[in-house]
Structure 1
């Protein structure tokens, strides 16, 4: 009987508190809607921080490849690899906007104008000799190809620190993959007796990952104190609230009728 009476008393106090919350619009807001409001705000602010979806990244491309340049004393205009780079970026789910020039933030229709207004996340500038450099068209007086590196320029928005870091890592990851594909095609053109050595030189290190066997360390006193303190605070707050409720009902003279 005592246990049943105690359960009935707890249920009665709980019901009273619940009805009191329902009658108080402010209490309803802070109990139900306020946490949801914080979830929405925090999700909107940090929800895209760790995303790796490239389709969320808008890249403005200024493709100078194909413009008339001098190569070995003759004029050359070839945009083959530059066009393939842009197509590969679109295939990788980047949203690509093509601009005619880098420009400045005051000139409408240029890449800098777009990134300064948040229309794009990054700018990639492809040089005019992109195809000529990667296809070894530069030669010396003896006709030997001159190794020439192609220089891409990547610009990000400095006002968005977190977004710029994500955009930069995604763009650099794509460029690394494009370089890997280019190396594979170039290695196929090498004589068979040299191909194996060149393959190792192009990718000399392989990395394997696995789970380590971690032994459990002995817990220190602080490992018990922190969760214990938090648990004590939570238990005390509930006990304090219940005590205040009982004291209030006794003051009003409604405690006996309630239980």
Structure 2
């Protein structure tokens, strides 16, 4: 049996890798090219590169850097950040990236999801759904790096994205992101049960058992950031990835 995927998510800011907590307080943790080389040597299943500056600053993706990272990556790579036109999608996918990830544009420009799926296939079309608790109770979808409330329920939003052509969903619990305290398994369970496309759990992984909990809740794959860039209680920076033996033991 093929084991579920385990995916490092790398955050880009000003061309460097950063990591924060609950989408805030980002600090520099290294060079993306060096990180990709380490994940190559560790035989990572896949990597996701998210530029958190593009939408905030209304700028184009850094195509040169994306192409350079993709040329170094021996594993499948997905990219998200600042994508709001099909021309940008074409440029990214023609640079060696296998999948594109939509977040803010999935809410503001839903035709782009369908356009991408029609031209490149649902397997290349990923929607990142960021979720956090609402002041009025319940959990809602946020966009623009977690700064803009949409009022959307994550379950119904995931269903809409699937209907538009998304072939995969990255489901991030903002309140858990960077805490290394475990995934929001209730959220995973609700969304995974509502759609027929793979749900990638993200936000909160800190140890191998957390992956198992996500898979048991219905996640088809598990993603993490802090777990793959920090080690120890003081969070020393060290790019790392579990061994195949460790992953097979989950």
Shorter chain as denominator, the TM-score bin is: under 0.3
- TM-score, normalization: structure 2? 0.25
Higher strand share: 2
- TM-score, normalization: structure 1? 0.24
Higher Cα Rg: structure 1 or 2? 1
